[in-house]
Amino acid sequence: MGTIKPIRKAILPVAGLGTRFLPATKAMPKEMLTIVDRPIIQHVVDEAKAAGIEHFIFVTGRNKTVIEDHFDKQVELETTLKQRGKFEQLKMLNDLLPEAGQTSYTRQQSPKGLGHAVWCARDLVGDEPFALLLPDVLVQAEKGCLAQMMEIYNETGGNVLAVEEVAPEETSSYGVVSLGETEGPSMTINGMVEKPDPGLAPSNLIIMGRYILQPEVFDILATQTQGAGNEIQITDAMQTLMESQDFHACKYEGRSFDCGSKVGFLAANVAFALEREDIGPSFKEAIKKLID
């Protein structure tokens, strides 16, 4: 198997328009919508950081500069907090910031799909394996989803995809995998298909927005033709890569929320609020009053 290279970099595609959340996303990126009191993108960066990621690569589009501002120091705010003696909030903001030089930004000028967004980050990643985290998906877990994937990767190398079970009638909305051998906590993936027609899915295990990929995927994406939805699909590129490299599935422990949908976004707010020690109990009482 050779030496397993560490995963130091993560790609976060944030170029989407967020049309399903208009008018909220008319002037604000959907990734900056808040889950309780943290933007969605902050939750995803926190997950990546907890897994040991050292460099965060944001693939952005127009009107996304506020994301860059969020992960930067704001001198006026910090000065005001100091003057008002709000040192706890000041420490919290500083703790959330990546270190100097840990963030990079590149533009995806046209919406050509997830595969194209990943390809846009090729020069920033270079010739090393990387993580890919879709900010639309939040995972609530005792140990972060990417950290669970890292454990498998450090044993197997190759490529690792987080998967979860869905109802068979829902598989046509996702990338779906078929499985081969099971090795401890990981399972070998021997096939995948993007948004299969109803009844034709190879399993009910979907790819849920967390990937560890080898850099050879960039060479495939460079000549990748358009697939489902007339977009360059990362699933198609992974299928090609599977011909020469191993893929493993991580059936992670936790619960995911599709924050690209209004129901998923609202459910995530409720779930993350309920687990908070400071507001969970009182929020639970407030929900009971609304439901009763």
* Cα–Cα dist 94/89, whole Å: 9
Distances, alpha carbon 177 to alpha carbons 50, 155, 165, 188, in Å: 27, 21, 11, 10
* Cα–Cα dist 209/10, whole Å: 13
CB–CB of 47/145 below 8 Å?
yes
pLDDT score for 184: 60
pLDDT score for 16: 81
pLDDT score for 229: 59
Residues of the chain with pLDDT under 50: none
State the burial class of residue 230 (Cβ atoms within 10 Å of its Cβ: 0-12, 13-18, 19+). Answer: exposed
pLDDT score for 287: 94
DSSP secondary structure letter of residue 98: P
* CA contacts within 13 A on the Cβ side of 134: 20
pLDDT per position as a tens digit, 76-95: 888 898 888 888 888 888 88
Q: pTM (2 decimals)?
A: 0.90
- Domains of the chain (ranges, CATH numbers): 9-291 (3.90.550.10)
pLDDT per position as a tens digit, 266-289: 999 999 999 999 999 999 999 999
**% of the chain with per-residue pLDDT over 70:** 95
